[in-house]
Amino acid sequence: MKNPSLVLNKVDELKFVDYDIDESLGDNEVLISNITTGICGSDIHYYAHGKIGDFVLLEGKPLVMGHESSGIVTEVGPKVTSLKRGDRVAIEPGLPSRFSDEYKSGKYNLCPHMAFAATPSKEGVENPPGTLCKYYKAPEDFLVKLPDSVSLELGALVEPLTVGVHASKLASIKFGDVVVVFGAGPVGLLAASVATMFGASKVMVVDIFDNKLQMALDIGAATHVFNSKTEGGVDKLVEKLGESPSVVLECTGAEPCIQLGVLALRTGGRFVQVGNAPGYVKFPITEFATKELTLFGSFRYGYGDYKTSVALLDKNYRDKSKKIVDFEQLITHRFDFVDAIKAYDTVRGGNGCVKCIIKGPETAL
């Protein structure tokens, strides 16, 4: 059986390749088709630069792209009990070692042997397959069934949404919290959306582009926005918000945003670092210490986070007249699988793209 896939061979070189796929399934394996995939910033980084930190695309080791995906179950292994043919699922794209201490302790996102879709492996190890293909295999416990209220397009938003869920859980965001989110890219907007749905009384999104800030308001992710380039510093931010925040979700990795977040937080506040910085940053350690702030690092997502994201989408869309956040507005561009390279070039060029969705080749069930 042929499996057409979008493959990154080297920087600036995407090609369609027909791989052969083994049709046999393990006891708890599931075969998925009709895959819908979102393009992530990391995908574009590999396409343009060939690396992110220690993850480097090596010559002769092609990378099947895609990790933000949903699809339809085509076949199930003999011992699969939670899913059946025809079910629509969100695909969790990282598979840890089942033998690592991190997996056994419930922190499988920190597993050093994680095989994460569309992410280069270490030297001597074959790259794990990405999801931007016709067929994809996954164990049933890394798939979450989508309710009727959640479309396949929304299912493709589950992966980046879950980054926000994980950050909000780390910060223990609860009803009445006042949250500031730095960054109005897809992850920042989704993190703000999660904070809103978790019950925060105020959510401010901070960025330097007014059009992105307007989207945060338009989709219902934020109650307040702040342009840190034109509106001033920490005093003006706190004044506009009306009080100091109890939580900061930092989704940019930019040194000025990290510093501003620490300075803005109230005494005893919680700071979650979601965005990756290109290197070491200057950190206001004195203010951090004297306020007795708590700092959390946030990496991908862990146990139960995917199910939480699907539950949030279900709650939001079960009765569309009562939806809290308009997640669908984030999907600004759509392409068919045959135009996937054009989709990547569109996102790479900016073009006002927030989230681009690629509809994969359909398969008759």
Domain boundary assignment for the chain: 2-147+325-359, 164-297
Report pLDDT for 364: 61
The reply to whether CATH 2.40.110.10 applies to domain 2-147+325-359 is no
Report pLDDT for 352: 87
226 in the Ramachandran plot: left (φ > 0), alpha (ψ -120 to 50) or beta? beta
Report pLDDT for 262: 98
**Which residue would you say has higher pLDDT here, 283 or 350?**
283
The token pair at 305 is 């986070």
**Which residue would you say has higher pLDDT here, 69 or 21?**
69
Which superfamily does CATH assign the domain made up of 164-297 to? NAD(P)-binding Rossmann-like Domain (3.40.50.720)
Query: Residue 124 pLDDT > 80, yes or no?
Result: no
Query: Residue 142 pLDDT > 90, yes or no?
Result: yes
Beta bridge partners of 2: 20
Matching fold, domains 2-147+325-359 and 164-297: no
Alpha-carbon distance of 253 to 206, in angstroms, equals 13
pTM of the predicted protein model: 0.96
**How many other CB atoms sit within 10 Å of the CB of residue 352?**
9
